[in-house]
Structure 1
Amino acid sequence: MSGSVTLAYDYPLLGVFWTTFWLFMWMLWFFLLFRVIGDVFRDDGLNGWAKAGWIIFVLVLPLIGVLIYVLVRGRGMGRREVHKAQAQQEAFDDYVRRTAATGTVRTSQADELAKLSRIKERGDISDDEFQRAKDKILH
């Protein structure tokens, strides 16, 4: 063995903390970069040239570009994110309402058919009246 070997106990604890800090900062940086790029594409107020300009600026001068974007358009980023969350919540609520209403209609149709069947069994309505009422309930 001619080269030097660095063992784990040769790496100081402060070095581990420093490396962890820089790793965390890089992950945070990439998260912010992708968040900015996503916001650029999500913004309907920007035309195609403005979007291309921001993307080029962010990719050519990443640190300065992202910081300037956050300073200039940061408030709008927050509003767009809130608007997106509200739209998703409204879509979910609408889906739940439609699904719940469909279940209620089926239950009420079944109840109405059961009542209609009981009325027919008692002899209060004829077979023809029963069929017309049944068709009306089902359609």
Structure 2
Amino acid sequence: MDLLNEKELYQLVHKLSVDHFKKAFTHDVAFNYRLRTTGGRYIPTKKLIELNPKYVVEMDENEFIGIIKHELCHYHLHIEGKGYKHGDKDFKKLLRETGSPRHCTPLPSQKREYKYTYLCLKCKQEYKRMRRVDVKKYKCGKCGGKLQALK
């Protein structure tokens, strides 16, 4: 998928809004080239959806459409005066109803190489970390078991 111009982007967002939410999208949408770790964001005070253009270039079309649907969930719930934040029941319900993803897949260009891996000896939960963890001081966050450093 090639990068869209402003008009094409607005038309895509409007079409997805009508198709999946049965409501028109009447505010602004734009690419934000400064976004790094997120696929998009909704700014309630401006009623603006900002999208990360790297997701158009680096990922498949379905991933980008999922991000737009996720941001439209925030948008429509905010317009209706309902709970539009990630923890709200209304938001989670609308995500399920529209088949929108809760989180976006990390970009291939943002993949991290972790230096340290730890394993819980009790529940086998694996932890990947950039910095070393003191296994005498810290325990598993899931079950409280002892951690062991792996190579």
Q: Kindly indicate whether structure 1 or structure 2 has the higher relative contact order, using CA contacts under 8 Å at least 6 residues apart.
A: 2
Query: TM over 0.5, yes or no?
Result: no
User: Which structure would you say has the larger Rg?
Assistant: 1
Shorter-chain-normalised TM-score: which range? Answer: under 0.3
Structure 1 length normalisation: TM-score? 0.23
Which structure is higher in helix share? 1
Structure 2 length normalisation: TM-score? 0.21
Which structure is higher in strand share? 2
